[in-house]
């Protein structure tokens, strides 16, 4: 392993793929663009909805803009499938805009990793559902989801 590695490393097992997914969820829930971008290769390729990004600089800029709009963001990811250096994930996150309108965003991601465990490709498809504040399901203090908070399957998503 090198200082540029991000364990667990491929090829993934069910256990290490699940660890990778939870590590990504935890990182995204920090809402720290620099920390998150460090888990991607310097030339990582993204498709996020209809946006196409290349490299850590664009990832950081994208995430800064995202969280300037998506306030009180809370995310849950769940492993869907894995093979060798690829992982498929489903996720949901809740957030509100500056006017106080709440949303739950659902999506799927396909991830591909290099041999050092850095993500070199992320393809995300996401849909937003307006919800009321009373319909929110993700209730924990901002930051990493507590281990005892239900996941997507337990919440029926």
Of 109, 144, 145, 142, nearest to 124 by C-alpha is 109
Q: Residue 26: which pLDDT band, with cuts at 50, 70 and 90?
A: very high
Cα separation values, 82 from 38, 39, 77, 90, 103, Å: 22, 18, 14, 12, 29
Tokens of 104: 């739950």
> Taking 70 as the threshold, does the pLDDT of residue 3 lie above it?
no
Under 8 Å CB-to-CB from 9, ≥6 apart: which residues? 1, 16, 113, 115, 116, 117
Q: What is the pLDDT of residue 94?
A: 98
The mean of the pLDDT values for the chain is: 97
Domains in the chain (CATH in brackets) are: 14-139 (3.10.450.50)
Q: Return the half-sphere exposure (C-beta side, CA atoms, 13 A cut-off) of residue 82.
A: 19
The burial class, CB within 10 Å (0-12 / 13-18 / 19+), for 108 is: middle
Q: Residue 56: which pLDDT band, with cuts at 50, 70 and 90?
A: very high
In angstroms, the CA 123 to CA 75 distance is 17
> Taking 90 as the threshold, does the pLDDT of residue 143 lie above it?
yes
Question: Kind and range of the H or E element at 56?
Answer: helix 56-69
Task: Provide the Cα torsion 5, 8, 12, 15; round to 10°.
Answer: -170
**Mean pLDDT score, 18-37:** 98
Q: What is the pLDDT of residue 1?
A: 52
Q: What is the pLDDT of residue 2?
A: 56
Q: What is the pLDDT of residue 4?
A: 84
**Mean pLDDT score, 14-29:** 98
Enumerate helices (H) and strands (E) in the chain, giving the number of each: 4, 6
Dump pLDDT digits (tens) for 121-132: 999 999 999 999
């Amino acid at each position: 392993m090198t200082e540029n590695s991000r364990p667990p490393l491929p090829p993934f097992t069910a256990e290490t793929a699940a660890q990778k997914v939870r590590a990504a969820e935890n990182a995204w829930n920090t809402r720290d663009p620099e920390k998150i971008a460090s888990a991607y290769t310097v030339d990582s390729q993204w498709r996020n909805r209809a946006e196409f990004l290349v490299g850590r600089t664009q990832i950081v800029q994208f995430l800064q803009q995202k969280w300037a709009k998506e306030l009180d963001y809370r995310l849950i990811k769940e492993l869907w499938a894995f093979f060798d250096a690829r992982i498929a994930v489903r996720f949901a996150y809740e957030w509100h805009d500056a006017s106080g309108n709440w949303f739950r965003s659902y999506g799927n991601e396909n991830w591909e990793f290099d041999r050092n465990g850095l993500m070199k490709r992320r393809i995300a498809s996401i849909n937003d559902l307006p919800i009321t504040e009373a319909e929110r399901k993700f209730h924990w203090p901002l930051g990493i989801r507590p281990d005892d908070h239900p996941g997507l399957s337990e919440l029926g998503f």
